[in-house]
Copies of this chain bind each other. A is one copy, B any other.
Amino acid sequence: MAVDLYPSRKGQESRIIRRQDPVVHRNPEFSDGPLSDRDLQQFEQNGYLMFEKLFNDDEVSIMKSELQRTMDGNRDREADDVIKEPGSNEIRSVFEIHKDSGFFQALSKNERIVKAAQQLLGSQVYITQSRINFKPGFKGKEFYWHSDYETWHVEDGMPNMRAVSCSIILTDNYEYNGPLMLIPGSHKWYVCCPGETPKDNYKSSLQKQESGVPDNDSMRWLVDQADGRIDRATGPAGSVLFFECNTMHGSAGNISPYPRSNVFFVFNSIENKLTDPFSGQSPRPEFLANRDNVQPIIPNKDRLQNFTNRIKR
């Protein structure tokens, strides 16, 4: 097993250690991406970058109808990769959409996002997890603070911090419909969480995370480092948020009438493939953490409108 640079859930008390990896993995071979020096500096400093309307309204409208079609197609399918609201048949997430041999697969290779990921990670990339999310209005549940990397490291064996999440937002995100909240600079620190990982933790953690939850003192400390700031990913539909795998984030519930939906791809460096989980337990299923037949993505130049016309209905 690889050296555990980021021990967590080892039964110890909570503590905070420094990040051991670069944030932007600069590599001349991938330096001609879409991100400016200023973008890279901002990402390095804050741990995230928001691009307003990276996709235009027509593209968003295609994505929304494809999301609806995928939701509808999965409504009666009972499977681990389809997450429903507790106590109802309403779908909240569908996983592994980048393998649908259709629209979302093409979108996952779109050069607008892939080249940005390559530039940040300094290498070719692949997708370690993908999903579409639909959060209803009125009753959207809160998601408590967490670092995705903590879970991906402990439960999936991701060795280093060299992955970036890309969230394409398909509905306007306002201050009042439960936007993602991020703590600027939190990606530079790692909260070693108390507790251990229960067996088959993923079956409940996708609805409510109980392991790998940072304690209040660590959260206060991280917010203090950010001079008290907590940022929100608000913006119009079509905007794209890139956030570093270790950025501390969460969201409040949504009692507004406005639902929220997004497409979510996690790009990992091809040099950072998953090993055995550092929890010592069995790996999580493929739909949560891709291991089989991992290949670097060849970025796709196709415009989405052209592509969608070619999809067989």
Contacts and interface: CB of A to CB of B under 8 A. Distances in A.
Contact of A175 (B145, B175, B253, B257): B175
Contact of A144 (B181, B216, B230, B255): B255
A176 interface: yes
Contact of A257 (B174, B216, B255): B216
Contacts of A230: 174, 176, 256
Contacts of A232: 175-176
Interface string A45-80: 000000000000000000000000000000000000
Main secondary structure of the interface of A (DSSP, over half): loop
Number of copies: 2
B255 A254 contact: no
Given A174-B230, A175-B232, A232-B176, A257 B142 contact: no
B181 A138 contact: no
B223 A257 contact: yes
Given A176-B181, A232-B176, A255 B145 contact: yes
A303 interface: no
Interface in A128-160: 137-138, 142, 144-145
Contacts of A254: 252
A219 B136 CA distance: 14
Contacts of A220: 257
A250 interface: yes
Interface string A211-238: 0000010011001000000101000000
A178 interface: yes
Contacts of A253: 142, 252-253
Nearest to A142: B253
B181 A257 contact: no
A32 B162 CA distance: 65
Q: Of A137, A142, A253, A257, which is in contact with the most chain B CB atoms at under 10 Å from its CB?
A: A257
Contacts of A145: 255
Given A176-B230, A176-B232, A255 B142 contact: yes
Given A138-B219, A142-B142, 13 more contacts: A137-B216, A138-B216, A142-B252, A145-B255, A176-B230, A181-B255, A216-B257, A223-B256, A230-B256, A252-B252, A252-B253, A252-B255, A253-B253
5 contacts: A138-B219, A176-B181, A223-B257, A230-B256, A252-B253
Interface of A: 137-138, 142, 144-145, 174-176, 178, 181, 216, 219-220, 223, 230, 232, 250, 252-257
